[in-house]
Amino acid sequence: GDLGINIEQNTVHGSDSAENAKHEISLFFSESELVNYDRR
């Protein structure tokens, strides 16, 4: 990636859709660890 030395250590990631983001977030966090955020 552009922001890491190699792909294994690249810490920046963007999901390609809201559905995939929800799935990927669930791999690392439980529902109780998530908060709602309204961007104004």
Active site positions, annotated: 13
Residue 20 identity (one-letter amino acid): N
d(CA 20, CA 26): 10
Per the CB < 8 A criterion, the answer to whether 12 and 4 are in contact is yes
